Structure 1
Amino acid sequence: MSIPSAEPNEFRESPSGNRWIAAEKPATLREKVHLGFLTARGWGLFAAGAVALLLAFLMGRRELLAIALFLLLTPLLAAFLLRFGNSELAVTRTFNPQQASTDSGVRVRLHITHKGSGAGPLTLRDTLPEDFGAGPEFRYPSRTATGGPEGSGSWYEYRLRLATRGIYSIGPVRAQVGDVFGLASRPSALDAPSALLALPVCEMLEPTGIPGEHGSHGQAASNRRLTPDSFEVMTREYRPGDTVRRIHWPATARKGTLMVRQEDYRATPRAVLMLDRSRTAFLAQGVGAEPVLKIPQFTSTPKDSSRRFEWGLHAALGIGAYLAQTGFGIDLIDHRGTSINAVSASGTEDSAELFAGPHATARMQQALAALGLEDATGERREPARATLAAALKERMRERGDRLVLILGEITEAQADTWLEVVGARSKVTVLCVANREGHLAPVISRFRQAGWAAVAVNPKSTLAGAWAELGRTS
């Protein structure tokens, strides 16, 4: 079955820069006085009835009066039935793929069905975010509409390219619902909006050594002293409050009692990735202020972002994917020690779990998809040093664990604060993102004097180049 396309230029791209709003058409006289419940044909019929009523009054003809009443009441009755009638139109919207990355397109497919009789021709328009402008229009029923015992159905399809990560609100399908004679019409939303998740692109780093890592080939496996198959060490008895996902069924069958996987960080070293979300570090204000990027949050208010924060998020995803492949369990937190899953609208359900295993990269992409800078209301609230230090201490328990700090444009005093919070740790990697990395030379010098692998980058730098430079400075 062929599926009709929306428009010749159906492939639309969302601009990654400033948002824009299409200019609205000036309101017509009918819209100003709220006369939209009748179509031009309906108003013509009503006007003819008014003229016939006037002529019947002037000429005294009763048969003309009957015609006038018919012409007057017919469009009004059509509008009444349309307003209070039951329209059984159902819309099913699907995406292919279900979660699209910002470097690829997504196909949106609509299946519209109608049960019963009395469905007149409709002009449908799917509602898109303002970045895309006006949505595509369709005619219902389509030329390839199918019929059956459950009603008639039409298929439509169009394509979108998402240039910005986030959760987009696609829909609802809006229509000017009319009667079969075309006398009355009314706007109607046929369904609810659907959420389309746009994932950030993950850059895969070359399999080189980890900056600051001392071991065989720089791999996390060199820090492991236990094997994953050791039931005695890797499992323990079930305790109230343990999640069902941690039940280890082979060990349970062997012991005859419920056994769960033991959180043994000596066997699986942890890498803590701290992504700074403070507005002061990534969104300069006043003179030289940089443009604010908007990250869609479905039907909620968009989150703020910037080019520098987008680079930092891209780096966190790429480095996290690399470390996960080398055997680390990834713990993503923000500058307040809070899990990214807890502050991102696209966070995964198992927020307490590490990003580990074969699906770690996909889960990190989902968690970071809708992440934005800290809300303006929390801009003045300084991060508590004791709270952040306690969070890092809880997350990093063994010498094999690593810490990666992705910071914005910070001052020397803030660098000293980070040195005080983190403490004496040899395996710390720092990326500072600034529009002019030369301004961060004193900060980078402080970090390197403490034995950390540190480098300053700008939004035009490549992640691979920054990662290679970190390896040279460690």
Structure 2
Amino acid sequence: MISESAEANEFRESPSHTRWVTDDQPATLREKVHLGFLTARGWGLFSAGVLALVLAFLMGRRELLAISLFLILTPLLAAFLLRFGNSALRITRSFNPQQATTGSSVRVRLHISAAGRGPATIQLSDTLPEDFGPGPEFVYPSRTATQGPEGSESFYEYRLRPAMRGIYAIGPVRARVSDVFGLAARPAAVDSASALLAVPVCEDLDPLGIPGEHGAHGQASSNRRLTPDSFEVMTREYHPGDTVRRIHWPATAKKGTLMVRQEDYRATPRAVLVLDRSRAAFLGQGVGSEPVLSIPQFTAPAGESSRSFEWGLHAALGIGAFLANTGFGIDLIDHRGKAINGISASGTEDAAELFTGPHARTRMQQALAALSLEDAVDPRHASTTATLATSLKERMRERGDRLVLILGEITESQADTWLEVVGVRSKVTVLCVANHEKRLAPVIARFRQAGWAAVAVNPKTSLAHAWADLGRAS
């Protein structure tokens, strides 16, 4: 499972500036009370000291008392010094590739060095999440250890294959540290955990046109053409919190005050993708309900998902990547109107930005990697509905804009609510995911009566097949 290597430049450093990097996990009770542990040799010495102490009292021999105190205190002193000693090991963990893709392998490399002469042979093991089983074990220094400017250096590597998306905590490396005489030993975390991001796979869709847009050939068009001289209608005054990258310098020079580009005025249309995250739609209760899937969140509690929600997320990623490739700016939100990039633990810092350009697919993969179902049901349904309606109204102001709804198993009344929230729009695409899609026939009929392209699928349906069905339903 572990291979040794001496090539140092093959791997990139794992990121340390991302949102999901948090403080170390709280220390266990054993670590809080600072207890060392005696080895078999140490316990033997301690037991011999206790026996000698008893004999000293029974026999009245003072020299035996001194010997007993020496035997008792020596292993205790070794454990005390071991607890407050510092590890001489320095560990760097890196991944190749830097982000894993579900179902694909990633190599983990450990670079371990020790300043100066370094410790004697020591047994180490890397800590892995439960999904991967027990962590790999190895011995430091390795057989191919080299002497570098900072002391002895060893390289180890192994492979992981994450089956589920999320943020995995890899590490820390643990060692059983002992004193020189082997009287005391204790497990110790030599470094801290590193975050391994596993992103979902993105499926490429055939360029057969956009469902719901008659006569389209895979190319998005815009009804608004901007010119370099139109900054007066595409700018606004600077507000605290606006990024410096949006400052429009020609407008600033003309107005005499800081002006920024207005997001609502754009040369390309916007596609709003709404991904339903409600627990009721994807995690039904009772007999035959779907099993709950765990989404790793690094050191935070794992999020929850289901097969239906995983299919919906997969569809959102594939459709979003397709629309971004055809010229749309992708605005990915949840069923409450919140930006996915802002609520996901793996979202990037520019949460308010659209997914556009050649890196739109990669950024959407990262934003969706740690997304899970909502934590709790919000009882204020009316207020959240109004919030969603306002959010959609603010996001969709151009005639070329499109709306894609990816919903779970909803009722007819909930379908009417979506019709009310969205309003009269001709370019709306709906995908409803359920284990028994035939139950959604009345819901799909309601959407189609409103002129929407709507299809019901189950988690076993291929996205390409659902995409083709949407094209025929439009």
What is residue 426 of structure 1 aligned with on the other side? 426
1:113 corresponds to which residue?
113
Displacement of 1:148 in angstroms is: 3.8
Is the 1:235–1:251 contact (alpha carbons within 8 Å) kept by the matching residues of 2? no
Please, which runs of 5 or more residues in structure 2 have no aligned partner?
6-33
CA distance in 2, matches of 1:289, 1:450: 31
Name the CA distance, whole Å, in 1 between partners of 2:380 and 2:106.
40
Distance 1:116 1:253 in 2: 61
**Judging changes above 3 Å, is the alpha-carbon distance between structure 1 residues 159 and 251 closer, same or farther for their aligned structure 2 residues?**
farther
Relative to structure 1, the CA distance from residue 3 to residue 289 in structure 2 (aligned partners, 3 Å threshold; closer, same or farther) is closer
Note closer, same or farther for the CA distance 1:470–1:184 as it changes in structure 2 (3 Å cut): same
C-alpha distance in 2 between matches for 1:100 and 1:251: 43
Query: Shift of residue 471 of structure 1?
Result: 0.4
After superposition, the Cα gap between the structure-2 partners of 1:468 and 1:164, relative to the gap in structure 1 and judged at 3 Å, is same
Aligned counterpart, 1:345: 345
Q: Is contact 1:120–1:178 with CA below 8 Å preserved after alignment?
A: no
- Matching of residue 373 in structure 1 with residue 376 in structure 2: no
Determine which of 222, 230, 233 is the counterpart of 1:232: 230
Query: Are residues 249 and 94 of structure 1, via their aligned partners in 2, closer, same or farther at CA, if it must alter by over 3 Å?
Result: farther
User: In structure 2, what is the Cα distance between the partners aligned to 1:67 and 1:137?
Assistant: 40
Report how far residue 194 of structure 1 moved: 1.3
Does residue 78 (structure 1) correspond to residue 93 (structure 2)? The answer is no
Partner of 2:330 in structure 1? 330
Indicate the residue corresponding to 1:156 in structure 2.
Answer: 156
The answer to whether the 8 Å contact 1:204/1:318 transfers is yes
Which whole-Å deviations, capped at 9, do the CAs of 1:187-218 have from their partners, x for residues lacking one? 11112211111101100101110001135524
Change in Cα spacing, 1:425 to 1:73, as seen in structure 2 (3 Å) is: same
Question: Is the contact between residue 238 and residue 258 of structure 1 (CA under 8 Å) also seen in structure 2?
Answer: yes
User: Shift of residue 256 of structure 1?
Assistant: 11
Q: Distance in 1 between matches of 2:60 and 2:386?
A: 95
CA RMSD between the two structures: 3.1
The 1:381–1:145 alpha-carbon spacing in structure 2 relative to 1, beyond 3 Å, is farther
Segments of 5+ residues of structure 1 without an aligned counterpart are 6-33
- Work out whether residues 431 and 454 of structure 2, in 8 Å CA contact, stay in contact via their aligned partners in 1: yes
How far does residue 156 in structure 1 lie from its aligned partner after superposition? Answer: 1.6
Could you say which residue in structure 2 is the equivalent of 1:465? Answer: 465
Structure 2 partner of 1:25: none
Q: Which amino acid aligns with 1:414?
A: Q
Quick one: structure 1 residues 385 and 58, their matched pair in 2 at CA, closer, same or farther if it must change by over 3 Å?
Answer: closer
Q: CA deviation at 1:251?
A: 9.3
Letter in 1 for 2:217: H
8 Å contact from structure 2 (residues 223, 399) kept in 1? no
Where does residue 26 of structure 1 map in the other structure? none
Distance in 1 between residues matched to 2:324 and 2:74, nearest whole Å: 70
What is aligned with 1:17? none
Corresponding residue for 1:451? 451
> Are the counterparts in 1 of residues 342 and 352 from structure 2 also a CA contact under 8 Å?
no
User: In the TM superposition, what whole-angstrom CA distance separates every residue of 1:56-114 from its partner, at most 9, and x where no partner exists?
Assistant: 89999999887766655543332232122232322211111111110211111112222
Distance in 2 between the 1:218 and 1:113 partners? 54
Pairing 1:63-462 to 2, within 5 Å after superposition: 72-117=72-117, 119-221=119-221, 223-226=222-225, 230=228, 232-233=230-231, 236=235, 239-241=238-240, 242-247=242-247, 260-265=260-265, 267-375=267-375, 377-378=376-377, 380-382=379-381, 384-462=384-462
State how far apart, in whole Å, the 2-side matches of 1:149 and 1:180 are: 26
The number of equivalent residue pairs is 442
Closer/same/farther in 2, CA of residues 156 and 251 from structure 1, 3 Å limit: farther
Distance 1:211 1:115 in 2: 63
Q: Does the 8 Å CA contact 1:278/1:379 hold for their aligned counterparts?
A: no
Tell me if the contact between 1:120 and 1:180 (Cα under 8 Å) persists in the aligned partners.
no
2:39 is aligned to: 39
Pick closer, same or farther for the CA change 1:116–1:385 going to 2, 3 Å: same
Gap change, CA 1:111 and 1:335, over 3 Å in 2: same
Separation (CA, whole Å) in 1 of partners of 2:318 and 2:442: 27
Q: Which amino acid aligns with 2:381?
A: E
Q: 2:209–2:216: 8 Å Cα contact kept in structure 1?
A: no
Q: Deviation of residue 249 (structure 1)?
A: 7.6
Query: What pairs with 1:15-54 in structure 2 (closer than 5 Å)?
Result: 37-47=37-47
Deviations 1:95-142 (A, max 9, x none): 111111102111111122222456233221211111122111111222
Deviation at 1:255, TM superposition (A): 12
| TM superposition score normalised by structure 1 | 0.84
Query: Residue deviations 1:254-297, cap 9 Å, x none?
Result: 99997754435452100000001111111101122110001111
Q: Distance in 2 between matches of 1:417 and 1:238?
A: 37
SS in 2 for 1:372: coil
Counterparts of 1:66 and 1:191, CA distance in 2 = 41
CA distance in 1, matches of 2:322, 2:352: 21
* Secondary structure of 1:469's aligned partner: helix
Deviation at 1:235, TM superposition (A): 6.2
**2:38 aligned counterpart, secondary structure:** coil
Structure 1 residues 53 and 394: CA distance shift in structure 2, 3 A: closer
Give, as a single letter, the amino acid of the residue that structure 1 aligns with 2:44.
G
Q: CA deviation at 1:184?
A: 1.3
Mapped contact 1:324–1:330 kept (Cα < 8 A): yes
CA deviations 1:199-249 (Å, max 9, x no partner) are 01100101110001135524213x34426x735359647734431222468
| Structure 1 pair 57–459 and aligned structure 2 pair: CA distance change class (3 A) | same
Contact 2:408/2:433 (8 A) holds in 1: yes
Give the Cα–Cα distance (whole angstroms) in 1 for the partners of residues 44 and 144 of structure 2: 33
Distance 2:53 2:274 in 1: 79
The one-letter amino acid paired with 2:163 is: A
| Code of the aligned partner of 2:407 | L
AA paired with 1:98? Q
CA–CA separation in structure 1 for the residues paired with 2:289 and 2:152:
55
Aligned 8 A contact 1:444 1:455 in 2: yes
